[in-house]
Amino acid sequence: MEESQFQPPQPGMPNMENPSTIGGNPSYNDSTSQTGAPNGQFSTYGAGEMPPPIPPKKHTWVYILVVGIILAAIVGLGAVYYFYQSSQSEDKAYVMLEGNENVQDYEDYLKNFPNGPHAEEVRQRLEELKTMYADWTRIQNSEYATDFERFKESHPTSTLVKQADMKIDSLDWVTAQKLNTPEAMEEYLDKHPEGRYISEAGITQNELANTQVSDAERQGISESLNGFFQAFANNDEASLFTYITPTMTQFLSKRNATKADVGNIVKNTYSEDIENCSFVLNNDYQITKSVSSDGKVAYKVSFSVDQHIQRSGEGKTFGSYTANATLTGEFKLSALTLKEISRQNQ
């Protein structure tokens, strides 16, 4: 009988001779050999020698690089978004200032965007607005249209120009009313064709045109008054009556004086010692013409007249009077009063 020879365990084969016992059952450890080499592999390192560490896998740095790039991209995009949003807010705030004359809005912009791309322009505009409002405050209660015209020249794009135009319109109308002539009304209408007072100005212009005294009317009034006083001086009743209406509302101190009343008053002013009497009208007529609703024309005339008397006895030889007369459209006297302002006696 042949003796069996001992065969050492082969690498990669379980140790069948000396199994370990786990839970009472034999267990064969085939994971690694005593040399530390994995099963199935033959180790070139002796007992007690450690193999060099396994180098890290080469693709780890790629992961790190990718993560870094992603983080940088996130930060970059965040910064871009922040600056974009800031830029959008600044643009919106700037656009809101277009045509805006609210000082507070400009100050708010500069507070929020002191270094914004439009900051310098906004500062300049803010100073212009402050100057404009100071100019307006200085003149807003002025009674001179020229102040508002100068404001318009200095600030032609201001929203206050409309208020300046309204001020000019009102003040020019006040001036036209004070002058109260057809020419003044015409000037207002020419300057303010769409003014607030064009209706009143047109009506007043027509009324003034109708009441404006022409040279022919002035001549007729003068001739009638001179003729009346000449007949008065001559005590010429027949001639006197041709210059007066049948009933005068007032003649000297007599109200509702008929022609007979007028004749008697004139006759009684003369005494026997008066040798001659004359009246001199000083041609300083102030004439106002009016037209009634039924179209009747009347003239009110203020003037001065001097009386010269020659007499044989003692008495008045000179008298100066202010006179007020009313004449019809036919130049007939319907009223006459005289007020003595000086006299001379002998």
Q: Residue 290: give its domain's CATH number.
A: 3.10.450.50
Residue 86 backbone dihedrals phi, psi, to 5 degrees? -60, -45
Mark whether 219 and 341 lie in a shared domain. yes
Identify the pLDDT of residue 31: 45
Look at residue 21 and tell me if it is in a domain.
Answer: no
237 pLDDT more than 80: yes
Identify the pLDDT of residue 34: 46
In angstroms, rounded to a whole number, what is the distance separating the alpha carbons of residues 258 and 150? 63
Mark whether 341 and 289 lie in a shared domain. yes
Amino acid identity, residue 249?
A: T
Look at residue 62 and tell me if it is in a domain.
Answer: no
108-117, 148-157, 262-271, range with greatest mean pLDDT: 148-157
Look at residue 335 and tell me if it is in a domain.
Answer: yes
Look at residue 39 and tell me if it is in a domain.
Answer: no
In angstroms, rounded to a whole number, what is the distance separating the alpha carbons of residues 185 and 190? 9
pTM: 0.51
Q: What is the mean pLDDT of residues 7-22?
A: 49
Domains in the chain, number = 3
pLDDT band at 270 (very low <50, low <70, confident <90, very high): confident
> How far are the Cα atoms of 130, 170, 324, 345 from residue 327, in angstroms, in the given order?
62, 37, 10, 32
Mark whether 171 and 256 lie in a shared domain. no
Identify the pLDDT of residue 53: 65
Mark whether 129 and 238 lie in a shared domain. no
Mark whether 199 and 316 lie in a shared domain. no
pLDDT band at 309 (very low <50, low <70, confident <90, very high): very high
In angstroms, rounded to a whole number, what is the distance separating the alpha carbons of residues 279 and 267? 16
**Tokens 């786990």 map to which residue?**
22
Query: What percent of the chain stands above pLDDT 70?
Result: 75
Look at residue 10 and tell me if it is in a domain.
Answer: no
Sign of CA dihedral 331, 305, 226, 257: positive
Q: Which of 139, 156, 176 is the last residue of a domain?
A: 139
In angstroms, rounded to a whole number, what is the distance separating the alpha carbons of residues 185 and 72? 80
73: alpha, beta or left, given left = phi > 0 and alpha = psi -120 to 50? alpha
On average, the pLDDT of the chain sits at: 83
In angstroms, rounded to a whole number, what is the distance separating the alpha carbons of residues 168 and 161? 10
Mark whether 340 and 252 lie in a shared domain. yes
Residue 292 backbone dihedrals phi, psi, to 5 degrees? -75, 170
pLDDT tens, residue by residue, 183-220: 999 999 999 999 999 999 999 998 888 888 999 999 99
Mark whether 125 and 202 lie in a shared domain. no
Mark whether 195 and 221 lie in a shared domain. no
pLDDT band at 293 (very low <50, low <70, confident <90, very high): confident
77 pLDDT more than 90: no
In sequence order, the 6+-apart residues with CB closer than 8 A to the CB of 28 are 14, 15, 16, 19, 20
Look at 58 and 135; give whichever has higher pLDDT: 135
240 pLDDT more than 50: yes
Range of the domain at 229: 215-345
In sequence order, the 6+-apart residues with CB closer than 8 A to the CB of 45 are 35, 36, 37, 51
Mark whether 195 and 223 lie in a shared domain. no
Mark whether 294 and 233 lie in a shared domain. yes
Identify the pLDDT of residue 57: 58
Mark whether 200 and 233 lie in a shared domain. no
For residue 19, the 8-state DSSP code is: -
Mark whether 204 and 94 lie in a shared domain. no
In angstroms, rounded to a whole number, what is the distance separating the alpha carbons of residues 256 and 71? 115
Residue 289 burial (CB count, 10 A): 19
For residue 59, the 8-state DSSP code is: T
Q: Which two tokens stand for residue 294?
A: 């039924």
pLDDT band at 279 (very low <50, low <70, confident <90, very high): very high
